[in-house]
Amino acid sequence: MNLYDFKVKGTKGEEVPMEQFKGKVLLIVNTATGCGFTPQYEGLQKLYDRHKGRGLEILDFPCNQFGHQALGTDEEIGAFCTLKYKTTFPRFAKVDVNGDNQEPLFRFLKNRKGGFMGSNIKWNFTKFLVARDGSVVGRYAPTTDPEKIEKDILKLL
């Protein structure tokens, strides 16, 4: 199985095939609107603005597993991100990233790039960098500002 075999749920409950992102560089992030790292949305949007024309997609997966910091419906989360941080990158339905009900895409990402953090995601704003061929090439801690990932993104664009 590869990254493009997965289907995820959109914010309106629709099925979204990951295949639609084939050939793009992806930064996949589990997010939360009430977290100390939430201001990273600003840095993520700056990266997206600078590089979406060259093939970067940032995929936002809200997650309420860590401190219940992604409260609200998918619609409310989307409104918050759009109004407060002016985000325009794709956002998906709220997911679990660990445990029995974890989104299969995140199981795949963790198995491909467990990295220094082991297999489980420890907190909101863990970031996975995926090359155009679908290979998972990086995993970044929540404390890593999006701007610090830019050099790695540029190598893949």
Q: Which residues contact 68 (CB under 8 A, 6 or more apart)?
A: none
Please name the amino acid found at residue 66: F
The model's pLDDT over 131-150, given as tens digits with 9 standing for 90+, comes to 999 999 999 999 999 999 99
- Region 60-78: mean pLDDT is 91
Q: Where residue 114 falls among pLDDT bands split at 50, 70, 90?
A: low
Question: What is the pTM (predicted TM-score) of this model?
Answer: 0.94
CB 87 within 8 A of CB 44: yes
Please name the amino acid found at residue 123: W
81 is catalytic: no
Q: What per-residue confidence (pLDDT) applies to 85?
A: 95
Residue 115 has pLDDT above 60, yes or no: no
15-17 and 56-62 strand pairing = unpaired
The architecture that CATH gives domain 3-156 is 3-Layer(aba) Sandwich (3.40)
Task: Return d(Cα 7, Cα 140) in angstroms, integer.
Answer: 23
- Region 9-32: mean pLDDT is 97
The model's pLDDT over 30-39, given as tens digits with 9 standing for 90+, comes to 999 999 999 9
113 or 14, greater pLDDT:
14
The model's pLDDT over 74-91, given as tens digits with 9 standing for 90+, comes to 899 999 999 999 999 999
C-alpha angle 149/131/50, rounded to 5°? 50
Q: What per-residue confidence (pLDDT) applies to 1?
A: 83
Q: Which of 32, 35, 70, 81 is catalytic?
A: 35
